[in-house]
């Protein structure tokens, strides 16, 4: 071999070796800065999963794509971030599906009280054809839904009195998400339901602008609601998903490889998030008790009375999401339950 040929061979070998270590370098990936907003604290199940997603994106893109995670609703409440995604002023976010109903009405499916009985049913529905269909409705509206994360089964807290029966909710000023199904549900229960963005919730509870709220144990803990709420009633009245979304304007400008990085990282973050959330939820109730919350379960009779009132909204949800989607959901649930 001539000197030049040898040098070329060495160079090619080195390039190959490098490609083996960093195969990502060969892909069509440009430096990208992605602003990823979320509502909860950094030290929450939501914050931990965003961090994991960010690390995963960095790894999969060989450090080229960077996520700037911005928590604590610093970029505004869910609805404001959604508009920023649609307009292309922000690249990504995670938030409650409930706050998306004004953009894609089919999202109301997830607000159906007692739709699923457990996380097995939730995962199957969300990750299956029904979840895909609902997620896809965002595309025409300027957003791309990547995966669903778990917010969790929601439970009721308030500062007035233990809620042991339906009538105890009378006159309680209860913050609900900005969503017609939640508003109707809690009106059915006799509460004075007040829609408020999550970002205003702690202050509203602290100043007694509202008496109560409902969220999964994880959030009651990470948001320190136990500091301003004495009573917790185990209602598990609805399973609430979060959804990770991307600005469609931003998404359309990405290469195939860049999209694959975000998709892969999103799936990894979903699996991580559900595991982490469930582990935390399993311990959170004991934690909340030790921090002074008074917890009560409902008697079977009272639980049934509340369930009956809440499911009055089902017909309205079915109409809102369309009978085809509603029936497909019920059919999949029946199948999951061995029907
Ligand atoms: C966080 C919210 C929150 C939701 C709520 O931005 O608003 O009560 O449960 O998780 O999306």
**Is residue 11, in this structure, part of any structural domain at all?**
no
How many residues belong to the chain? 339
* Spacing of C-alpha 178 from chain mean position: 15
- CA-nearest residue, atom 9 of ligand 1: 215
Classify residue 178: in a domain, yes or no. Answer: yes
Q: Which tens digits make up the pLDDT trace of 40-94?
A: 999 999 999 999 999 999 999 999 999 999 999 999 999 999 999 999 999 999 9
71: containing domain:
27-336
For strand 239-247 and strand 212-215, is the pairing parallel, antiparallel, or unpaired? unpaired
Q: Is residue 91 part of a domain?
A: yes
Per-residue pLDDT band at 14 (split at 50, 70, 90): low
Q: How far does residue 64's CA lie from ligand 1's centre (Å)? A: 31
For ligand 1, mutation pick of 47, 96, 98 (most atoms within 8 Å of CB): 96
Cα 198 to ligand 1 centre (Å) = 5
Tell me: pLDDT of 159 over 50.
Answer: yes
> Domain tally for the chain?
1
Quote the mean pLDDT of the chain.
Answer: 94
| Spacing, Cα 39 to ligand 1 middle (Å) | 7
Which residue carries 């320190």 as its tokens? 224
Residue 1 inside a domain? The answer is no
| Residue minimizing CA distance to atom 1 of ligand 1 | 39
pLDDT grade, residue 9 (50/70/90)? low
Rounded distance, CA 304 to CA 37, Å? 38
CB neighbour burial string for 130-153, b if at least 16 within 10 angstroms, e if fewer: bbebbbebbeeebbbbbbbbbbbb
Q: Per the domain annotation, does 202 fall within a domain?
A: yes
Q: Give the closest residue (by CA) to ligand 1 atom 4.
A: 96
Per DSSP, 298 falls in state: P
**Joined tokens for residue 210:** 């509202």
Question: Which pTM value belongs to this model?
Answer: 0.92
- Quick one: pLDDT band at residue 22, thresholds 50, 70, 90? low
Distances in Å between the Cα of 317 and the Cα atoms of 150, 181, 194, 333 are 21, 7, 20, 16
User: For residue 24, what is the DSSP state?
Assistant: G
Q: CB under 8 Å, gap of 24 or more: what pairs does 255-261 form?
A: 255/28, 255/29, 255/30, 256/28, 257/27, 257/28, 257/29, 258/28, 258/29, 258/30, 258/32, 258/61, 258/65, 261/29, 261/57, 261/60, 261/61, 261/65
**Does 284 score more than 50 pLDDT?**
yes
- Is residue 70, in this structure, part of any structural domain at all? yes
How many angstroms is it from 1 CA to the middle of ligand 1? 67
Inside any domain, residue 45: yes
Instruction: Answer whether residue 61 is part of any domain.
Output: yes
Per the model's pLDDT, the better-predicted residue between 36 and 16 turns out to be 36
Nearest CA to ligand 1 atom 10: 96
Question: Which residue has better confidence, 46 or 21?
Answer: 46
Position in ligand 1 atom list of the atom nearest CA 151: 10
Average pLDDT over residues 94-121: 98
The enclosing domain of 249 has a CATH number of: 3.40.190.170
The ipTM assigned to this model is: 0.98
């Amino acid at each position: 071999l001539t000197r030049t040929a040898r040098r070329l061979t060495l160079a090619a070998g080195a390039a190959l070796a490098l490609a083996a270590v960093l195969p990502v370098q060969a892909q069509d990936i440009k430096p990208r800065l992605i602003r990823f907003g979320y509502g909860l604290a950094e030290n929450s199940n939501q914050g931990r999963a965003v961090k994991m997603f960010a690390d995963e994106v960095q790894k999969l893109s060989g450090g080229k794509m960077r996520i700037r995670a911005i928590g604590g609703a610093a970029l505004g409440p869910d609805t404001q971030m959604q508009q920023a995604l649609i307009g292309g002023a922000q690249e990504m976010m995670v938030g409650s599906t409930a706050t998306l109903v004004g953009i894609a009405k089919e999202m109301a499916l997830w607000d159906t009280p007692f739709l699923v009985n457990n996380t097995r049913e939730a995962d199957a529905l969300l990750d299956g054809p029904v979840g895909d269909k609902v997620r896809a409705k965002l595309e025409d509206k300027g957003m791309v839904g990547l995966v669903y994360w778990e917010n969790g089964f929601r439970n009721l807290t308030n500062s007035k009195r233990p809620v042991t029966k339906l009538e105890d909710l009378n006159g309680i000023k209860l913050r609900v998400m900005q969503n017609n199904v939640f508003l109707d549900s809690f009106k059915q229960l006799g509460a004075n339901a007040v829609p408020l963005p999550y970002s205003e919730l702690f202050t509203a509870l602290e100043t007694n602008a509202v008496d109560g709220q409902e969220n999964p144990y994880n959030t009651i803990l990470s948001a320190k609601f136990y500091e301003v709420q004495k009573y917790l009633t185990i209602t598990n009245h609805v399973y609430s998903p979060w959804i990770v979304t991307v600005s469609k304007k931003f998404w359309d400008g990405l290469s195939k490889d860049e999209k694959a990085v975000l998709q892969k990282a999103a799936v990894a973050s979903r699996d991580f998030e559900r595991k982490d959330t469930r582990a935390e939820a399993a311990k959170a109730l004991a934690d909340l008790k030790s921090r002074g919350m008074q917890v009560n379960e409902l008697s079977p009779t009272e639980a049934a009375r509340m369930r009956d009132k809440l499911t009055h909204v089902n017909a309205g949800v079915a109409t809102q999401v369309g009978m085809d989607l509603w029936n497909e959901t019920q059919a999949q649930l029946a199948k999951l339950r061995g029907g």
